[in-house]
Amino acid sequence: MADYAIDLSAVDFIDSSALAELVSLSRWATTAGGQVRLHRPSDPVRVILELTGLDAIFVVHDGADPAGSPRP
């Protein structure tokens, strides 16, 4: 299983290249039976995720501990 937890709390801006990498990682993780969890996205990043519809393919948490978060 390939689970990834990414803390986005320090990210103020995300462009299409970064979004493409996250989607690629998500596809790989899903194929391996895992998932990608995005933790604590800043407001600007959360807006981009929502506008692009990517908030539907990632598990988005507001929690502070990406490593300790259980799988939904």
Beta-bridge partners for 39: 7, 61
68: in domain: no
Q: Is residue 23 part of a domain?
A: yes
Share of the chain above pLDDT 90, in %: 78
Checking if the pLDDT of 44 tops 70, the result is yes
- Give the pLDDT of residue 10: 95
Please say whether the beta carbons of 64 and 40 come within 8 A.
yes
The residues, any chain, with a CB within 8 Å of residue 62's CB and separated by 6 or more, are: 39, 40
Domain count, the chain: 1
Q: Kindly report the CATH number assigned to the domain that includes residue 53.
A: 3.30.750.24
Give the pTM: 0.80
Domain that holds residue 10: 4-61
Among 6, 1, 2, 3, smallest CA distance to 70 is for 3
The rounded mean pLDDT for the chain is: 88
Examine residue 21 and state whether it is found in any structural domain, yes or no: yes
Query: Is residue 72 domain-resident?
Result: no
Decide if 71 is inside a domain.
no
